[in-house]
Structure 1
Amino acid sequence: MKKLASMILILIILAGVTLAGCTSTGGNAAPEPTAKPASGVARLVIGTTNAVTDLNVNDYYLGIFKARTSHQGLIALNPDGSYAPCLAESWESPDASTFVFHLQRNATWHDGLPVTAKDIKFNLEYFPQKIAEYKQHWGLISSVETPDDYTVIIHLKSPNSNFLVNLLVMRAVPEHIYRDIADPAKFNDVAAMIGCGPYKFEKFDKQAGTLTFTAYDGYWGGTPSVKSVEFRIFKNQDTMIMALKKGEIDTTYMYSNGISYYYVPGLLDNPDVGFMMIPFTGVSGALFFNANKTPYDNATFRKAVSYALDYEELKNLFTAGYGSTPNAGFLPNGTYNFKDTPQMARNLNKSKELLDTIGFKDVDGDGLRETPDGKKFQPEIFARTDIADYPRLAEMIKKYLKDVGLDSKIRLADMATTTTTLNTAKTHELALSRTTPWGMMTWAGYGSCYFDPRNIGYTMTKDPKYLALVDRMFNATDEATQRQIAFEMQDYYASEMPAVALYWSDLIQPYNKKYAGWVNDPMYGIMSYGTFYGLHEV
């Protein structure tokens, strides 16, 4: 009881923390040249637990760090979620099958050569052939035209009103460097880091765990107020938070994640640390069922598992009570076109009853259920280790399943193995992962990329009813129709349970109050153009 009271007190304090120096609106589009603040920032040091291993384009977290520093795509997002110009100064779509982009005319690569339409065409054609994830995102493209150096015309195989979201993953590379690279995943030369963003790559010290970018004077949008950005990589949040307390880093950053709530009490007493509460439209913790495998293709089995889970305990353990109990419709409250479906709740009797009805019973009296044909059953819980809470979360899921007679085992994997397993090999059974705000928007939106096997498809949901919803969304061009389909998709998630949201939560972002002008990017948090161009000393 005392612990709960302490949590509530901290929440009240957090809610009242003045977010001076923070903003969540405006200033995130790739900037045009403009007057800079009177005092900029010579070096911004960002602490992270997102490990970088090499310089190639297949390094997941390196790609995240490059997205708002050294590399750019055609478009970006404003803090309100609307599309903003980037390498494309403007665009139009005469229909949902054709998209015409007009490029910035003074954009250059960091080696001084101009960025042209042919470079963009190269990226759109090269990466789907080399990296599976890009084939999933850009596989809808049938052809790309470049009538001149500054015009790119993309033709799709079929209409897709949500296609612009898929372009948000572009981190354009120069054709003159990559055209002779057979395998970009093995290209670790410094030349692999040449981009066209506001910062150019300076160095990666793997032993020291530092990744440094410096402002590029030739950037078409002008020089950022932050002259140098250094990412300092920590092995865990404990050492990272200690560095923040000591003033050795200026803020923390973990892609689509905030610091653990349990560090907040120790930071509240520090007069130099402020907090930014970031609404999170992804799902921080989710359990995905691989419908390519039996019995995970059975909705009754999936519902039985969902009833076995203790959502209130998970909320308290992993968000310290700050998060909220999720709904059956999976999408977090605050999502555009959110529908209020029934809230998830534990019901052990219901879970056992459902397992009984589909033949999962304890036939040998050892307290554990066998399959309908009497064989031993031990589902595997696959959990990624790059998110600190997940090994513990996997243990909790294992405990809950044991409560209804299901004996499970846990398999832990690093980020590279996770990407291969979930995105391509599809060898998982039950997978613990998360969804990011961008992931929830892409494909047909509303989390569809995580379910549809034609995209990433963690759940490999091949149900014609669901695929028809996705296809209808692709063709929907008016808001009323899109809203209706979004509601139907959430109803589907609630009734069929292809995945279970374990808890919802906002992100807690600490920062050093000696600087003001922090801006949240819907995809990349405080690592935004708004921050890099507007940050200044208080």
Structure 2
Amino acid sequence: MGFFAILLLGSTTASEDDDQVSVYTIAGGDSGFPAPYSHYPRGGGYVYMSFIFDTLVWKNETGYVPALAESWEVEGDDTYVFKLRDGITWNDGVEFTADDVVFTVEYAKEHPYVWASTTMVERAEKVDDLTVKMFLIEPYAPFIDEVGGTLPILPKHVYEGVDDPESFQDEAALTGTGPYTLVDYDKVQETYRFVARDDYYGGSPRVRELRIVKVSPEMASAALAQGDVDAVSIPLDMIEPLEDQGFSMLTSSANGWAYKLMINHKKEPMSEKRFRQALAYAIDRERLVEIVGRGRGLVGNQGAVPPYNSWYNPDVEGYQHSPDKARELLDDMGYNGEAIVLLTKGGSVEYDRIAELIKEDLEEVGINVDLRSMDSKTVDTKVEDWDFDLAVSGHGGAIGDPNFLSKMNSGWQFNSDRYFEDLELNDLLSEQVTETDKDDRREIIDRIQVLYAEDVPAIVLFYTESAYAHDGQVNLYYTMDGVANGIPIPLNKLIFVGQDGR
């Protein structure tokens, strides 16, 4: 199958049926071949793949909705029963059954999928053609979010003979149950073309054809204004000009992305909690929002759960800007003024400005700062290797189920704090994932936030605001707690199917 035809830019065109949108063009770019094991491990890659593949459960703007499973229930606290929809077919015409679900769970154990692990599943059992029972090794609170609503179900008749799914990139690899099929993919031009399935179990999609085209950030607003695209992510300073031209705007600070000050808590004086607390008091995070975020965004919560997340605990130390408290802590610990190296990612106006403002704040309280600008990859490598003092960084993921706290604090990637000195904190991080009573789990999550704020393994500077501009042909929205397990991109496939996009 040839996926390499060059697509021309084209905006929405009218259909004979006024209720349909013939072509809808989104500014994006290459996110890899849109099969489960071939797309790039970032949000856009998952979203494009989700146009073709479905999960057992999905989410819309307000909560969970049925997908391949018409209903689900929990037996005890470690067994999930999924009742599947009848009459679903794969896009090659083969019937979808419970065998596909059982196969997918076991296949993902042998071939781990980057967005969803099934290691907590002891076994998946077919009860009948339309019922699957999953037995967990132990209770796992975010199971529906991280597995039921994120793991794309694979066709057994296609993938059972595939030993290297990452290299499986032919037509059969795109056999899905989703609302669209891929008819063109051009890696060089960074374009995709998806066509609606009239036999989709959720109804014939309202948007008949989806196109993804490459548009540079500098040209994003112009592409929308000229009618080359129908939806595009834009810089915040283009919100008002595009609104003045009549375009619809979708803005959100609830996207899970934050700028962060990474701290080498293994090295003196950063290993001293009082020093880290002094840093938190010294930095004026409201000024960062005003200057760097142009007044758009939210001051970071030092408890690490954003204030827009339903698990947010407001009763943690906020570290309101106080140079006097910072100086007092530094005096108490006997800080002697040794220079601290602050790394930032050169080439980014935002990172550079954040670093400059932090340097000013820290020097105001007597901390000598040696600011060094390096390329992004070098900074990330130095942080990963603990070859740094302080580093301006940032990452997403602080959205959805609070298990992101475990990944953020106890993971092993460069953007994790890797903070294990507080035994209570780490024990609670392990405990919360197995607590299925929501009230009891909330108590644990509340305590985790208090401990994290007290320990200051890193400093959450501020949460950014994102903006999407579009022509109003469909009603874009941000999915509750993000697409799948936390992707803050307003391109939920249900919008284009028409169930929620009118």
Tell me the TM-score normalized by structure 2. Answer: 0.80
Q: Which amino acid aligns with 1:485?
A: I
Once residues 394 and 175 of structure 1 are traced to their aligned partners in structure 2, the CA distance between those partners, rounded to angstroms, is 50
Deviation at 1:534, TM superposition (A): 2.7
- Shift of the 455–537 alpha-carbon distance from structure 1 to 2, 3 Å rule, reads closer
| Cα RMSD, aligned residues only | 3.7
Checking the alignment, whether the CA contact within 8 Å between 1:284 and 1:503 is kept in structure 2 is yes
Q: Which amino acid aligns with 1:275?
A: M
Describe the SS at the equivalent of 2:460.
strand
Q: Which amino acid aligns with 2:258?
A: S
From 426, 444, 458, the counterpart of 1:467:
426
For residues 276-287 of structure 1, the aligned pairs below 5 Å read: 276-278=250-252, 280=254, 282-287=256-261
Describe the SS at the equivalent of 1:441.
coil
Once residues 346 and 90 of structure 2 are traced to their aligned partners in structure 1, the CA distance between those partners, rounded to angstroms, is 36
For residues 342-491 of structure 1, the aligned pairs below 5 Å read: 342-348=317-323, 351=326, 354=329, 361-362=336-337, 368-369=339-340, 378=341, 380=343, 391-392=351-352, 395-396=355-356, 399=359, 403=363, 404-407=367-370, 409-413=372-376, 430=391, 432-436=393-397, 440-442=399-401, 444-445=402-403, 447-453=405-411, 458-462=416-420, 463-491=422-450
For residues 281-300 of structure 1, the aligned pairs below 5 Å read: 282-289=256-263, 299-300=273-274
Once residues 414 and 133 of structure 2 are traced to their aligned partners in structure 1, the CA distance between those partners, rounded to angstroms, is 26
Checking the alignment, whether the CA contact within 8 Å between 2:259 and 2:464 is kept in structure 1 is no
Describe the SS at the equivalent of 2:427.
helix
Once residues 275 and 441 of structure 1 are traced to their aligned partners in structure 2, the CA distance between those partners, rounded to angstroms, is 23
Matched, 1:184 2:184: no
Q: Which amino acid aligns with 1:235?
A: S
From 267, 270, 285, the counterpart of 2:242:
267
Tell me the TM-score normalized by structure 1. Answer: 0.75
- Shift of the 295–537 alpha-carbon distance from structure 1 to 2, 3 Å rule, reads closer
465-474 or 68-77: which moved more? 465-474
Once residues 290 and 189 of structure 1 are traced to their aligned partners in structure 2, the CA distance between those partners, rounded to angstroms, is 45
- Percent identity, aligned pairs only? 23
Deviation at 1:230, TM superposition (A): 0.7
**Match in the other structure for 2:295:** 321
**Match in the other structure for 2:31:** 52
Q: Which amino acid aligns with 1:52?
A: S
Once residues 346 and 112 of structure 2 are traced to their aligned partners in structure 1, the CA distance between those partners, rounded to angstroms, is 21
Deviation at 1:407, TM superposition (A): 2.9
- Shift of the 262–115 alpha-carbon distance from structure 1 to 2, 3 Å rule, reads same
**Match in the other structure for 2:468:** 509
Checking the alignment, whether the CA contact within 8 Å between 2:258 and 2:300 is kept in structure 1 is no
Deviation at 1:225, TM superposition (A): 0.4
- Shift of the 536–91 alpha-carbon distance from structure 1 to 2, 3 Å rule, reads closer
Describe the SS at the equivalent of 2:228.
coil
Once residues 455 and 31 of structure 2 are traced to their aligned partners in structure 1, the CA distance between those partners, rounded to angstroms, is 38
1:206-228, CA deviations, whole angstroms, 9 ceiling, x for partnerless residues?
Answer: 23221111102332222100001
Deviation at 1:105, TM superposition (A): 2.3
Checking the alignment, whether the CA contact within 8 Å between 2:186 and 2:192 is kept in structure 1 is yes
1:314-344, CA deviations, whole angstroms, 9 ceiling, x for partnerless residues?
Answer: 2023321122323322222232142223434
Matched, 1:531 2:489: no
Runs of at least 5 residues in structure 2 that lack an aligned partner in the other structure: 1-15, 484-488
93-102 or 201-210: which moved more? 201-210
From 474, 478, 481, the counterpart of 1:520:
478
Once residues 133 and 220 of structure 1 are traced to their aligned partners in structure 2, the CA distance between those partners, rounded to angstroms, is 27
214-223 or 403-412: which moved more? 403-412
Runs of at least 5 residues in structure 1 that lack an aligned partner in the other structure: 1-35, 254-258, 370-377
1:183-209, CA deviations, whole angstroms, 9 ceiling, x for partnerless residues?
Answer: 333333343333221011111122322
**Match in the other structure for 1:213:** 194
Q: Which amino acid aligns with 1:64?
A: Y
- Shift of the 279–323 alpha-carbon distance from structure 1 to 2, 3 Å rule, reads closer
Describe the SS at the equivalent of 1:73.
coil
- Shift of the 532–124 alpha-carbon distance from structure 1 to 2, 3 Å rule, reads same
